[in-house]
Amino acid sequence: MNRIAKTFAALKKQNRKALIPFITAGDPNPGITVQLMHRLVQSGADILELGVPFSDPMADGPTIQRSSERALKHHVSLNDVFGMVAEFRKIDTNTPVVLMGYANPVEAMGYAAFAIKAKECGVDGVLIVDYPPEESGEWVQCLDQQEIDAIFLLSPTTPQQRIEQVAKMAKGYIYYVSLKGVTGASHLDLQEVSAMLAQLRNYISLPIGVGFGIRDGATAKAVAGLADAVVVGSRIIEEIEKSSDAELLDNVGNLLNSLRKAIDDNENNTQPTV
């Protein structure tokens, strides 16, 4: 088992749910990213999603778009992101790291070269937003050769045929986009999420993480009652955006602590009494 599988297996034994925060590599500056990754783990993160900055992040709302813009002002490249993961691994060899981004940087580097570099620096999974499963056979094969999980998105509008394709190809976990629209949207319908997760589990045995629209402890707690993982991105980026350099690590750490406590409280309330 790689780090992602080990993490979910350990959490399942403890009757706990994963907390997966997202940050953009190089936001607000490259020097703080590795420190921020460590602070997220210290504050309760189980898996880290690290965004690769991109000039046209079409699936992202204004908040995460601005985070990419800030990183790109520092000329943060895909190779820089690999370097950040390698630096993180000098201290933390246990926490899974998933790269999340878009096809263009991968295409420019090439599938095989990307997979090899990702493996060398300690990446555990990759989610490329604009790689549809129908066209991802070679991509998944290259990741498989390096024992890296290919992670896919599913959404409320995903047709059954694509769900079945993803079920065959995906590894690690499924990222379920709980809302129609871009990142940072709100109006999360928990009944709709619950119904869709029940449908997905007819086809998918992997853990399912829910993201989009999770902005506070109450929502994180509710989602943790339905899914295997809670994914939080835009809310963390907002905290980064409004924090001074001196306050940033503490502010983000406090936010994640509050989400972790809410999720754990949910678990404590659902554990059977003995």
Question: Annotated catalytic, 56?
Answer: no
Among 27, 60, 149, 228, the active-site one is 60
Q: Mark whether 241 is an active-site residue.
A: no
CA–CA distances in Å: residue 214 to residues 20, 165, 210, 235, 243: 11, 27, 9, 8, 20
> Sheet harboring 174-177: ordered strands across?
149-150, 125-128, 97-101, 48-51, 18-24, 229-232, 208-211, 174-177, 152-154
Contact 46, 75 (CB under 8 A): no
Torsion 108-111-113-114 (CA) sign: positive
CA distance 274 to 264: 18
- Residue of 27, 46, 49, 124 with catalytic role: 49
Active site residues: 49, 60
